[in-house]
Amino acid sequence: MTASKQPRIIIFTGSSCPWCNRVKQYLKEKGFRFREVNVERDRDGARELQRRHIMGVPVILIGSHPIVGFDKAKIDKLLGIKR
């Protein structure tokens, strides 16, 4: 998938979250760009998760589809990554 056709990806993270780091590393390895929102430092980001009734991280927002946790199968499906 080329960068120009890549969907918007936002990862909501926490500072001491090992799964957050794994998600970021996985997307980097696959060549995807993303915006990281650390909910400990970004109050608007924390409010966005509360608005969606999500209390944990990581949360990967691909387009308008939220994925809670590092669910590689869902990430791959939404991004068209072949296994």
User: What pLDDT is recorded for position 58?
Assistant: 97
**Which residue is it, tokens 């799964």?**
19
pLDDT at res. 2: 46
10-residue mean pLDDT series, the chain (83 residues): 75 96 97 96 94 94 95 96 83
First-to-last C-alpha distance (Å) of the chain: 14
Residue 82: the pLDDT is 86
Query: Would you list the domain boundaries of the chain?
Result: 17-58
Of 76, 48, 51, residue with least CA distance to 11: 48
pTM for the structure as a whole: 0.89
Residue 35's identity, in one-letter code, is R
* Omega of the bond leading into 7 within 30 degrees of 0 (cis): no
- Give the C-alpha distances (Å, rounded to integers) separating 31 from 34, 51, 81: 10, 30, 11
